[in-house]
Amino acid sequence: MKNHALTAILSSLVLASTAYAQHSGHHSPAAAPYAGQEKRTIKALSADQVEDLKAGRGMGLALAAELNGYPGPMHVLEHAERLQLTSAQTHQMQTLVAAMKLETIGIGRDIIEAETALDALFARRQATPETLVLLVKTVADAQGRLRAAHLRYHLDTHAALSPAQIEHYARLRGYAAQP
């Protein structure tokens, strides 16, 4: 009896795996998830990512702050009227945005340069464990600096707003229930 049950289970598994193999054959899109990306100038970065880095956009790097009650200056300015920002607060947000852009665009250039160098290292077939570690650390350092910069501007924004404005901001952005 036990042998018949084991045989039935094994037969079912073989049939299921054969059906899966036929269904998900090598022609499925999942088999080539990076197809087309080999034509990118910088293989690790999409054109949109490069543009975001060049423009100093946040790219979700400050979500830890944003979603925990630390607004960003750009989004605060988008809701300036509804948040009833004072003229001093508006000016401060504009100053923060300008400073953030200036800083993060420079760091974005560093990331693009480091990713370009890493890409070129592999394209020239010159990657070694030592050069790989050096360039990956360079990329990671720049990425860390970029994230820290974006997060720091959220801290500065939080300090400039009242608790009521922060609460209202969360409702405007859909993070808190409307009263």
Q: How far does Cα 87 stand from its chain's mean position?
A: 33
- Count of structural domains within the chain: 2
Q: Are residues 16 and 99 in the same domain?
A: no
Q: Are residues 108 and 61 in the same domain?
A: yes
Cα–Cα distance list, 56 to 10, 19, 79, 103, 157 (Å): 56, 48, 20, 8, 17
pLDDT at site 66: 97
Tell me: pLDDT of 10 over 90.
no
Average pLDDT score over residue span 25-35: 68
Q: Are residues 13 and 87 in the same domain?
A: no
Place 31 in a pLDDT band, splitting at 50, 70 and 90.
Answer: confident
Residue 22's CB is within 10 A of a number of other CB atoms, namely 8
Q: Is residue 20 part of a domain?
A: yes
| Tens-place pLDDT, residues 97-109 | 999 999 999 999 9
Residue 12's CB is within 10 A of a number of other CB atoms, namely 10
- The H-assigned helical ranges of the chain are 2-23, 47-55, 63-66, 73-78, 80-83, 87-123, 129-160, 163-172
Q: Are residues 11 and 99 in the same domain?
A: no
Of 12-21, 107-116, 120-129, 160-169, minimum mean pLDDT range: 12-21
| Tens-place pLDDT, residues 110-124 | 999 999 999 999 999
Q: Is residue 179 part of a domain?
A: no
Q: Is residue 177 part of a domain?
A: no
Place 5 in a pLDDT band, splitting at 50, 70 and 90.
Answer: very low
pTM for the whole thing? 0.80
Question: Cβ-count burial of 48 within 10 angstroms (0-12 exposed, 13-18 middle, 19+ buried)?
Answer: exposed
Average pLDDT, the chain: 87
Q: Are residues 141 and 55 in the same domain?
A: yes
Tell me: pLDDT of 8 over 80.
no
pLDDT at site 26: 46
Q: Are residues 62 and 104 in the same domain?
A: yes
